[in-house]
Structure 1
Amino acid sequence: MPSAGIAPRRVVQLAALLAMMVFFTTQLVGALLPNVPLLIIASAAGLALDLYLQHKQPGLLSLLSKIRFDVTVRQLLRDMMIMVGLLRIDGIDPTHVQAPLTVGLLLFYIAHFVCQAVAVLVKRRRLLPFVTRNIDASALHLSTAPPRLLARQPARRLLRFAIPATAGLLATAATKDAVWGWIGLGIALVLSLSGVAWLSTWLLTRKRVLDEQQALEWLDNWLAEYQPTVGMYFSGGTSSAYQANMWLSTLASLDGNPIIVLRERFMVQKIDATDIPIVCIPKVAHLMRLEHSTLKMLLHPANSGKTSQILRIPSIKHAFTNHGESDKLSSCNPYAKAYDEVWVAGPAARERYQLADIGVEDKDVVEVGRPQLAPITPYTGAPAGEYLQVLYAPTWEGWDGNPGNTSVILAGENIVRALLADPGVRLLYKPHPMTGSVDPRAGLANERIQALIAQANTRRTGARPGPEAAAELARRAEVLEGLTTTSFRPDTDEIERMLLQGTPDSDRAAAVEEATAAWESAYWSSLPEWEHQIITGPRPAIFSCFNHSDLLISDVSSVVSDYLSSAKPYAVANTSGLSEAEFREGFPTVRAAAILAPEADGVPALLDAVRNPEHDPHVADRAELKVHLLGPSDPPSLVRFNQAARDLCAQAEARQARMEARASADLPGLLGGDAADELAAEAGELPPETSGPADAESEETAGV
C-alpha cells in the first residue's frame, strides 16, 4: 500500500530531525558548562548525522533549506559553539589560541565561498543555449566535466572539507594544545583552496566551451550542412517520453533527413536509442532560428504548453499524430485545429473529429494508419496451447473522474476472479503505469488484484524451465542493457554527455530492436506456461503481450485500437453506467467486442467463444472494424505515412515559393523602376532587349 511506504520514511525523517536538535542542544550545553566530553561527542555526532543525511535524506535537508536552516548555517552554528567552548575551557588562552583559531576558521569559510563562486561561474560557462545528441558537436570545445563534489555539491563539499577543521578544533578542546586546531584548519583551508585552483582550470580557454553567440552560429551552420527536412517536436514531463519514443522508428523510416526537436534539457536522455539527431532548444528566441533552416515539417505526438511556440514558425508545416487513438475525449482535443493537418489511423478517427465539432476541418484530416503496429502478429484461429492466454490490460482512472475510464475499481477484481476460476486460463495482468495516481481506490484495487493472482499461483504446480532459460534471459538482458544504457561517470554533466553521445554507433537502433526481440523471446521462455504473470515494468512491451495472448480484456483506450490490428477476440468492460446498446453506440472501438458488465458474469461465455471460434459472433465485425479504425492494409501504413509526410513537405515548399514570388513582386516598388529592372534582368525575369536605359531611349524615339 502506498501509505505503508510513506509512513516509515516520515518516521525516519522525524527521528533524524529530532536527533539533530538534540545534538545542537547538547553541543550548546557542553560549550557553556563547559563539559569537554559532551562538547566533543555532540559536535562529532552532529557532523556525522549531517553527512549521513546528505546521502540518505536529501528531501529533509531540502525542507530545512526552505526555512533558511541550510547546511552552511548548520555547520557555522556547530563551529561557533565549538569556538564558544574553547573560549570557556580553562587552560586555553583566548588571546594566543582562541583568537588565531577564529581567524583561521574565518579564512576557511572565505575559501569555501570563493570555491562556490568559481563553481557557479564554471557552471554558467558550461551552459550552452541548446543540447545535442547524435551530433558531432566537438567544434563547440566540449570537455569533460569538473568533479561534481567541487562543481555541483556545495553542501557535501563544505561538510567533507570541514571534517579536518572540526576534528582539529575538538582535539584542541581535549588537549588544550592549539597545534591540533591549526593542523585541522590548515588541511581544510588547503582542500578549499585546491578546489578553487582546480575548478579555475575550467575557465581557461582549453576547457571553456563557446559562448552563446558562437554556439548559436555553430548550430546555424550545422543545420545548413545537415539540411533537415522532416522532424518530430516534443515537450513534456519526465513520465511522458513514451509518447515520443513510440514514433522513433517511424520517423527514422521517412524520406529525407530527420531530426528531433525537444524543449526540456532532461528529455534528451529520456529518448530511447535512436540514430536520429536530437536538438534541445529551451528558449523561444533560439527556437525561432529553425525558421531559417531547411526543415519543412514537424510531427507532434502530444500537445503541450510550449507547442504554440513552435507553431509560430510559418515556414514549417505541422502535423498532429497524437500518441494513441481511442474514443476518449482526449483524442479530439480542440487544440488540434492549431495544426496544419491532423493525422489519424483510419475513417473512425476522421468521423470522431467531425462529430466532436471542435473546429478541425475534414480536409485537414489525413488517414495514415498506425505504422507502429507492424510487429503485432495476426489472428490464426483457436488457441493451440494447453492454456488460454488472457491479457487483462486496464487503463488508468484519468483526470475527469469518469467511472467508465478504468475497470479496475468497479470490475477488476470480478474479472480476475472469473479468469482465475478457469483452470485452463493463464492470466497476463498488465495495469497502466499511472493506475492509482489520481484515485487511491484504483491503486488499492490494483494491489488486491495482484494479491489474488499471487495467491492463485500458489495453488498451481507444474514444470518450470531449467536454469539455462534463466541464464539465457540474463545474457540477453545484459546485451540489451549495454545497448540502451549509456554509462556515464558520476561527475558527468550535460556538456560531457554531448561529447560522449556525439556520433551514434552505426545502426544502433536496429541493434536495439534486435536485442529487444531476443530479450522478449528469452523472457517468455523463462516463465512456466501455467503460471499467471503480473507485468508492471516497461518490458516486455505491450505489443509483445499482444503476441502472447489469445484474448484481450481492457477498457475504452488506445490499447483496444492497437489490439484490433491482430483481429484477435477482445472484450471491453462497461463500467460507465450506460446500457450495452448505448455503450456500443457511444464508443465505436467496442462495436466488435464482447461487453463485460462490472459483475463479469459474461467471462465463461467469452472464454468459450475464444476456444471455439464457431461460437464467436464478432469475427466478421472485427475484420470490418479493423479497417474502419486503422485503415486498409494495402498500401501499408508506413507507405501512406511517408506519402503524407512528402505531401506536407511539398506544401511547405509551395508556400516558400509563393513567399519568394511575392517578395519579387513587391521589390520594384521598394527599389524604384531602374534599379528594380536591373535586378530583375540579372535574375532573368526580364528579356535583355527590354531592360535598362536602351529601353527608355527606344520608347522616347517611338514617341517622336
Structure 2
Amino acid sequence: MNPLNAAKTLSTIVGNIRRKRNAIQAINSSPLAFSYLPNGDDRFQAALYFADQMVNAYQLRQWYEPMRMLAKQAPVVVLVRNPETAVALRDECPLPIFFAPAIADIETMLESQRIETVFYVNQNIRNFQMMRFNGPAHVFVSHGESEKSYMWSNQLKAYDYVFSAGQAARDRLEKNLSRYNAAERTKLIGRPQIDVTYPAPVQVNQNFKTVLYAPTWEGDRPSMSYGSALSHGLPMLKALVAEGNCNIIFRPHPRSGINNREYKTALHTIRELFENSQRVGSPSYFYDETDSWGWQWTAADVCVTDISAVAYDWLATGKPIIVTKPSNPQAEIDESPALMKVPNLTAAEAKNAGTIIRGLMEATNHDFYELVDYYFGDTAPGASMQRFINESMAIISEQRQTT
C-alpha cells in the first residue's frame, strides 16, 4: 500500500473509531432513550430488527408507518445493534429504540417483554444472532417487491414466515426455491406503504409533466448489476434537459457509487447538469436525496427505473412506467409478467427517451389492473395496510398460544 492510500485508510479507521465513541457516549448520557423497557400491558409485543449502519436505513424507514399502525394494537420496538445507528434513529424514528450491542442485551429485553414476533427488513448476517431465540416468530418483510435474485434467496428458508406483496412473489418462490412450501410459509400483504400520505419536500413547475428517474445502485456482483445511472441515465437526462419540456426528479439509490467509481462520477455529472440548467420559468430539476420515498408517486406523471422495488411500487399507481434493460449481460433477470408487459429501455435507446416517454403518456392503454392485482392484490385505499396488520396480529396471537 502506498503512503497516500495508507494515510487515507488510517484516517478512515480513526474517523470510524471517533464516531463510534461519540455515539456510545451519547447513549450512556441518555440511557432511558435507548434501553426503556415498559411494564405490564405496555410491554413490547413485536420487534423490528435492524443490525445495519445508517447507509441502509432506507430499508427500515419504509416500515415506520406500517409498524406505527401495528403498534396501536401490539406495541412495537426497533431493536438496533449499531451505536451510531441507534443515535441517528432516536432523532427520526417514530417508534421506541432499544440498543442491544450484545446478545445479553437481547436476552434482557426478551425476558422482560412479550416479544411474540420479530420482523427483519434485510439479510444482515447478524440476523442469525437474533434468530437463535425460538420464542418469537421470525418474519422477513424485506424492503420492497422486485425481480432481483435477492427476492428468492435461499436464506428465506430460515424465517418462519415471509411477508410477500402478492401472488407473483409467492409464485417466484415456488419456482426458484426447492424444498420450500411457499403457500404455507408466505403471507400476502400487498404494499402497505402505498396507504401512507407523504408530504412533498419540493414543488415542481406545474406547467410541465414530471418524469421520475429512480435508478438502483450498481450492485456488488455481476448478477446484481441492474443500475442504469451510468449506462442509461447520463444520455437520457442530457437529452431530456436539452429538450426542456419536462420536470425531472432524479432519485438515485442511497448506495449508488460505493462499488464503482465511474458510476459515482455519473452521479456528480447529473448533479452538475441539474444545477447548471435551472432557469426561472423552466422545468424543475430536482436531485432527490431526501429520506422520504412515496411523495414521488403523486408528484410524477411517468417513471423510468431499473429492475428494483421502485418499479413495483410505481406499478401500483397505474401511471406509465419504463424499466431499463441492464447493460451487463450477466445481470440475472427473472421472466416476470411485469417485465414482459411494461416497456423496456436499452442503453442504446436512452438518448431517445424523450420521444418514448411522450408516446407512452399520450397512449390510452395503461390499464395494468390485472398485473397490479397479481403483484399486490387489492390496492384499494387502506387494503394493504389492513392485510399487513391482520397477518401480523394473527402471527402474534399464534405465538401467544404456543409459548
TM-score after normalising by structure 1: 0.49
Question: 1:59 deviation in Å?
Answer: 3.3
Do structure 1's residue 560 and structure 2's residue 306 form an aligned pair?
A: no
Structure number with higher relative contact order (C-alpha < 8 Å, ≥ 6 residues apart): 2
Alignment of 1:290-305 (within 5 A): 290-292=109-111, 293-305=113-125
Counterpart of 2:372 in structure 1 is 626
Q: Look up the equivalent residue of 1:609 and give its one-letter code.
A: G
Question: 1:611 deviation in Å?
Answer: 4.0
Structure 1 unaligned regions, length at least 5: 1-9, 15-57, 66-119, 138-218, 378-383, 464-529, 657-704
Counterpart of 1:538 in structure 2 is 290
Counterpart of 1:263 in structure 2 is 81
Question: 1:414 deviation in Å?
Answer: 2.1
Of 272-281 and 241-250, more deviation after overlay is shown by 272-281
Aligned with 1:287 (options 85, 95, 106): 106
Counterpart of 1:247 in structure 2 is 63
Counterpart of 1:355 in structure 2 is 175
Question: 1:592 deviation in Å?
Answer: 3.6
Counterpart of 1:425 in structure 2 is 246
Alpha-carbon distance in structure 1 between the residues aligned to 2:31 and 2:312: 36
The change in CA–CA distance for 1:601 and 1:298 in structure 2 (over 3 A counts) is: same
Kept in 2: contact 1:344–1:365 (CA 8 A): yes
Do structure 1's residue 232 and structure 2's residue 27 form an aligned pair?
A: no
The change in CA–CA distance for 1:575 and 1:353 in structure 2 (over 3 A counts) is: same
Do structure 1's residue 569 and structure 2's residue 320 form an aligned pair?
A: yes
Aligned with 1:650 (options 392, 397, 401): 397
The change in CA–CA distance for 1:358 and 1:448 in structure 2 (over 3 A counts) is: farther
Do structure 1's residue 586 and structure 2's residue 338 form an aligned pair?
A: no
Question: 1:399 deviation in Å?
Answer: 0.4
The change in CA–CA distance for 1:277 and 1:601 in structure 2 (over 3 A counts) is: closer
Do structure 1's residue 332 and structure 2's residue 152 form an aligned pair?
A: yes
Question: 1:247 deviation in Å?
Answer: 1.0
Counterpart of 1:152 in structure 2 is none
The change in CA–CA distance for 1:287 and 1:375 in structure 2 (over 3 A counts) is: closer
Counterpart of 1:548 in structure 2 is 299
Question: 1:422 deviation in Å?
Answer: 2.8
The change in CA–CA distance for 1:131 and 1:623 in structure 2 (over 3 A counts) is: farther
Alpha-carbon distance in structure 2 between the residues aligned to 1:360 and 1:334: 9
The change in CA–CA distance for 1:453 and 1:283 in structure 2 (over 3 A counts) is: closer
The SS at the match of 1:567 is: coil
Alpha-carbon distance in structure 2 between the residues aligned to 1:61 and 1:601: 42
Q: Look up the equivalent residue of 1:235 and give its one-letter code.
A: A
Alignment of 1:458-477 (within 5 A): 461-463=279-281
Kept in 2: contact 1:132–1:278 (CA 8 A): no
The SS at the match of 1:591 is: helix
Do structure 1's residue 59 and structure 2's residue 8 form an aligned pair?
A: no
How far does the alpha carbon of each residue in 1:316-348 deviate from its partner, in whole angstroms, 9 at most, with x for none? 111100112211111222211111100011111
Identity of aligned residues (%): 21
Alpha-carbon distance in structure 1 between the residues aligned to 2:143 and 2:154: 16
Alignment of 1:518-533 (within 5 A): 530-533=282-285
Kept in 1: contact 2:192–2:384 (CA 8 A): yes
More helix by share: 1
The SS at the match of 2:347 is: coil
The change in CA–CA distance for 1:456 and 1:287 in structure 2 (over 3 A counts) is: closer
Of 322-331 and 236-245, more deviation after overlay is shown by 236-245
Alpha-carbon distance in structure 1 between the residues aligned to 2:103 and 2:13: 34
The SS at the match of 1:428 is: strand
**Largest Rg, 1 or 2:** 1
Alpha-carbon distance in structure 1 between the residues aligned to 2:235 and 2:347: 7
Counterpart of 1:45 in structure 2 is none
Counterpart of 2:357 in structure 1 is 607
Kept in 1: contact 2:34–2:86 (CA 8 A): no
Alpha-carbon distance in structure 2 between the residues aligned to 1:282 and 1:393: 34
Alpha-carbon distance in structure 2 between the residues aligned to 1:651 and 1:225: 18
Question: 1:647 deviation in Å?
Answer: 1.1
The change in CA–CA distance for 1:567 and 1:315 in structure 2 (over 3 A counts) is: same
How far does the alpha carbon of each residue in 1:201-247 deviate from its partner, in whole angstroms, 9 at most, with x for none? xxxxxxxxxxxxxxxxxx5xx45563222221221123122222221
Alpha-carbon distance in structure 2 between the residues aligned to 1:447 and 1:127: 39
Kept in 1: contact 2:320–2:361 (CA 8 A): no
Alignment of 1:396-415 (within 5 A): 396-402=217-223, 404-415=225-236
Counterpart of 1:40 in structure 2 is none
Question: 1:652 deviation in Å?
Answer: 0.7
Alpha-carbon distance in structure 2 between the residues aligned to 1:401 and 1:132: 45
The SS at the match of 1:267 is: helix
More strand by share: 2
Do structure 1's residue 308 and structure 2's residue 136 form an aligned pair?
A: no
Taking only aligned residues, the RMSD between alpha carbons, in angstroms, comes to 3.4
Do structure 1's residue 598 and structure 2's residue 342 form an aligned pair?
A: no
Question: 1:455 deviation in Å?
Answer: 4.3
Alpha-carbon distance in structure 2 between the residues aligned to 1:557 and 1:287: 33
The SS at the match of 2:92 is: coil
Q: Look up the equivalent residue of 1:282 and give its one-letter code.
A: P
How far does the alpha carbon of each residue in 1:398-434 deviate from its partner, in whole angstroms, 9 at most, with x for none? 1013585111222222211332243322222222232
Alpha-carbon distance in structure 2 between the residues aligned to 1:367 and 1:553: 27
Counterpart of 2:163 in structure 1 is 343
Alpha-carbon distance in structure 2 between the residues aligned to 1:303 and 1:336: 9
Structure 2 unaligned regions, length at least 5: 199-204
Counterpart of 2:202 in structure 1 is none
The change in CA–CA distance for 1:419 and 1:348 in structure 2 (over 3 A counts) is: same
Q: Look up the equivalent residue of 1:356 and give its one-letter code.
A: N
Question: 1:278 deviation in Å?
Answer: 2.0
Kept in 1: contact 2:236–2:352 (CA 8 A): no
How far does the alpha carbon of each residue in 1:140-197 deviate from its partner, in whole angstroms, 9 at most, with x for none? xxxxxxxxxxxxxxxxxxxxxxxxxxxxxxxxxxxxxxxxxxxxxxxxxxxxxxxxxx
Kept in 1: contact 2:208–2:283 (CA 8 A): no
The SS at the match of 1:305 is: coil
Kept in 2: contact 1:132–1:277 (CA 8 A): no
Kept in 1: contact 2:163–2:188 (CA 8 A): yes
Kept in 2: contact 1:260–1:278 (CA 8 A): yes
Question: 1:562 deviation in Å?
Answer: 0.9
Alignment of 1:448-467 (within 5 A): 448-457=269-278, 461-463=279-281
Question: 1:538 deviation in Å?
Answer: 1.8
The change in CA–CA distance for 1:442 and 1:402 in structure 2 (over 3 A counts) is: farther
Alpha-carbon distance in structure 1 between the residues aligned to 2:158 and 2:176: 16
Kept in 2: contact 1:376–1:546 (CA 8 A): no
The change in CA–CA distance for 1:587 and 1:442 in structure 2 (over 3 A counts) is: farther
Counterpart of 2:33 in structure 1 is 133
